[in-house]
Amino acid sequence: MAAFRGTFRVLFIRLISPSVAVRRFRHESLSTRLSEVGVLETPRIQGQYDTGQLFLHRVFGYRGIILFPWMARVYDRDIANKPDEDKTNLDDHATVVGKEVKGKTHTYYQVLIDGRDCPYIRAQTEAVTFLGNQDNSRALYAIPGLDYVSHEDILPYASTERHPIHHELFDKFLLHDPGSTPQFIPRETLRAWQEKNHPWLELSDVHRETTEGIRVTVIPFYMGSRESQQTHVYWWRYCVRLENLGEETVQLRERHWRIFSLSGTLETVRGRGVVGQEPVLSKELPAFQYSSHVSLQAPSGHMWGTYKMERRDGSSYDCRIPPFSLESKYEDKNSPHGFAGN
């Protein structure tokens, strides 16, 4: 791996549809559609990346920069499950939330996504949300261009540009320092923002499960509670990533959720697709990521479910969503909110 450092320059090519590519090719030479963004560095097997490290996302391909790390417990059901177990019945998951699976500590990073790449990636770029600070408001607000990236999805590179990432928070959070490695160091505003918003940014548990080559990863986040008609409503967001690890192309057609609340209620939610889409997962475009929200009238509960995946021949199967806990982790006396610097 040592020979990898400095031997390749990163040429960034946007993912565009064939029809768009044809139109652009008529007016542009190939050289004008390639841009050098930096020099690839050796990915780290051990240790963490530092704040200010530039990277390419291994799966989604966007340019980004690391803000700070989180240590998470990853519950991988592919490791724990026995091959002969039958897990096709949704009700079988009702009492299996994931903690019977031994978790392993893993590093994830809070990152900024380059705004130039947002239109071309199959992941929501306004997925990090928080509650408004009005006492009785159910309003959700979003900070665009934030993501959580696992250590193995970081492809580090170096750049001589002073502004290699286009994001409104880049200059607020990071300072160019040509004498440091990496060449961008955290400003005090980044440290203050992280400390202030730690409760709703914190990533603690990650759940994974694979069905017929489709790996589903779910990360839940507690967002806080609101008082509504003399009862408390507790809110969570959850980020879901689907990745096709095989050769067969499939399309997500339906979702089927079961939501259990500590209050004793069990809710079933069915619907077409996810977030208004029915994504195709192919070898060429293997991944799709989205976020959604759930509220309970109890401080804890859990969720599990399936996605109906359709093959090219019209047949389908249920892809399991690993069960995950919904836990309220703190008393939100003051609602968390986003950065509002000048």
The domain spans of the chain are: 43-327
Report pLDDT digits (tens) over 242-294. Answer: 999 999 999 999 999 999 999 899 999 999 999 999 999 999 999 999 999 99
What fold, for 43-327? Immunoglobulin-like (2.60.40)
pLDDT of residue 98: 52
Cα end-to-end distance, the chain, whole Å: 43
Burial zone of 227 (CB within 10 Å; 0-12 exposed, 13-18 middle, 19+ buried): exposed
Tokens of 231: 């009862």
Exposure letters 11-46 (e unless 16+ CB within 10 A, then b): ebebeeeeeeeeeeeeeeeeeeeeeebbbbbebeee
Residues above pLDDT 70, as percent of the chain: 78
The DSSP symbol for 164 reads: -
**pLDDT value at residue 137:** 55
Distance (Å, whole) CA 10 – CA 4: 12
The percent of residues in the chain predicted with pLDDT above 90, rounded, is 63
Q: Which residue(s) pair with 73 in the sheet?
A: 105, 205
Q: What is the pLDDT of residue 29?
A: 44
What stretches of the chain show up as alpha helix (H) in DSSP? 18-27, 77-80, 170-173, 188-196, 198-201
Looking up tokens 């990090």 gives 128
> Interior CA angle at 45 toward 44 and 50, to 5°?
35
The model's pTM: 0.83
Residues of the chain with pLDDT under 70: 1-33, 80-100, 132-138, 330-342
Instruction: Give the type of residue at 274.
Output: V
Strands 205-211 and 184-186: unpaired
pLDDT of 268 reads: 96
Torsion over CA: 252, 255, 256, 262 (sign) = positive
Q: Which residues contact 222 (CB under 8 A, 6 or more apart)?
A: 199, 200, 234, 235, 236, 326, 327, 328, 329, 330
Per-residue model confidence (pLDDT) at position 132: 66
Q: State which amino acid sits at residue 181.
A: T
Q: How far is CA 197 from CA 105, 130, 331, 338, in A?
A: 22, 9, 13, 7
Cis peptide before 182 (omega within 30 of 0): yes
- pLDDT for position 259: 97
